[in-house]
Amino acid sequence: MKIIDGKAISQQIKDEVKEKVAAMAAEGKQVCLAVILVGEDPASQVYVGNKKKACEYTGIRSESFELPESTTQEELLKLIDELNGRDDINGILVQLPLPKHIDEKAVINAISADKDVDGFHPESVGRLSIGDKGFLPCTPAGVIELLKRSDIPMSGKHCVVIGRSNIVGKPMALLMLRQNATVTICHSKTENLKEICKQADILIAAVGKPKMIDSSYVKEGATVIDVGIHRLEGKKLCGDVDFDDVSKVAGAMTPVPGGVGPMTIAMLMKNCAQGID
Ligand code: L34
């Protein structure tokens, strides 16, 4: 079994971005990401902290807005509007989830499509679905990059995605389709889930349930990508995949931590430096 090293691959991508940012700086072009975090969710604080570090590493300027839990939707929309209008800001990231009193959809829609480095705006989603150029959502784009750079073929292969969220499952399926995979999307209502997963050459778990996917879901030699991230007691991290058990049958798989998470951040850096392109 080969471990797909997301940390190493994300480092390569960040180094490529760093070069691009330096080349842009030589032409007098600055790249700047606005990072907005509302509230004090500890996991979000870690992820946003990692994003700011990656900005520093790659030479992307970051402007950070850490707002209290009590921030109103109106206040947040006003900030986004200001950032939309600023020529010195290239990308706007609003870390999710937002507090319950704020409508995520309204916030995502408010971000100008040409600064939508998360790829969550309906215009970006539409571009992805018809195959036009646009910002790709960072987590699924990171999974594609992991597979490409690990020389795992996608064309003609059966890829099973477990999960249908707007942020991971749905765009993941579209990106796999773009790579000419045969794609099946499974979800909580899927019948015979295990049997379907067992047919996958590439199994992508984005279910949100700690260690749900064990070896009984996996075909011998399959590639297993774990998009889940959960904090167990004692702060230990795990994914949607039972790593120890699945490692007995998989051909290649991603660990948690050190798999998809760092790739999400690297692809965000790439989106910032590249623009819609
Ligand atoms: N707007 N909200 C917006 N964009 C995103 O792309 C995200 N996502 C998800 C949550 N909310 C978002 C992230 O940034 C998940 N996510 C994310 C980012 C980074 C990491 C994990 C998830 C990450 O750094 N993972 C490390 C471990 C970090 C730790 O110690 O907890 C890893 O090695 O997996």
Q: Which of 118, 153, 162 is nearest to 271 (CA)?
A: 118
Tokens of 46: 């870690």
pLDDT digits (tens, 9 = 90+) for 215-274: 999 999 999 999 999 998 878 999 999 999 999 999 999 999 999 999 999 999 999 999
pLDDT digits (tens, 9 = 90+) for 164-208: 999 999 999 999 999 999 999 999 999 999 999 999 999 999 999
Specify whether the CB–CB gap between 162 and 197 falls below 8 A: yes
CATH tag for 138-261 (out of 3.40.1440.10, 3.40.50.880, 3.40.50.720, 3.30.70.890): 3.40.50.720
User: Phi, psi at residue 228, to the nearest 5°?
Assistant: -70, 155
Question: 198 catalytic, yes or no?
Answer: no
CATH architecture of the domain with residue range 28-111: 3-Layer(aba) Sandwich (3.40)
Query: Under the phi-then-psi rule, with left for phi > 0, alpha for psi from -120 to 50, and beta for the rest, what region is 240?
Result: alpha
d(CA 194, CA 151): 26
d(CA 144, CA 153): 10
Where residue 275 falls among pLDDT bands split at 50, 70, 90? confident
Ligand 1 binding pocket includes 117 (Cβ within 6 Å): no
Compute, in angstroms, the gap from residue 93 CA to the centroid of ligand 1.
12
Question: 209 catalytic, yes or no?
Answer: no
Query: What HEC string does 254-269 produce?
Result: CCCCCCHHHHHHHHHH
Where residue 276 falls among pLDDT bands split at 50, 70, 90? low
Query: Residue 234's pLDDT is what?
Result: 79
Identify which of 35, 124, 264, 265 to mutate to test ligand 1's pocket (most ligand atoms within 8 A of the CB): 264
Per domain, the residue ranges of the chain are 28-111, 138-261
Atom of ligand 1 nearest to the CA of 231: 31
Ligand 1 binding pocket includes 254 (Cβ within 6 Å): no
Residues 6+ apart with CB under 8 A from 38: 67, 68, 69, 71, 76, 94, 95, 98, 99, 102
Angstrom CA distances, 247 to 85, 190, 194, 219, 243, stand at 49, 25, 17, 11, 6
Where residue 42 falls among pLDDT bands split at 50, 70, 90? very high
Compute, in angstroms, the gap from residue 73 CA to the centroid of ligand 1.
23
d(CA 207, CA 101): 25
Paired strand residues for 66: 37
Compute, in angstroms, the gap from residue 191 CA to the centroid of ligand 1.
30
d(CA 19, CA 33): 17
Where residue 277 falls among pLDDT bands split at 50, 70, 90? low
Question: 118 catalytic, yes or no?
Answer: yes
Radius of gyration from C-alpha coordinates of the chain:
19
pTM over 0.75: yes
- What mean pLDDT, rounded, does the chain reach? 97
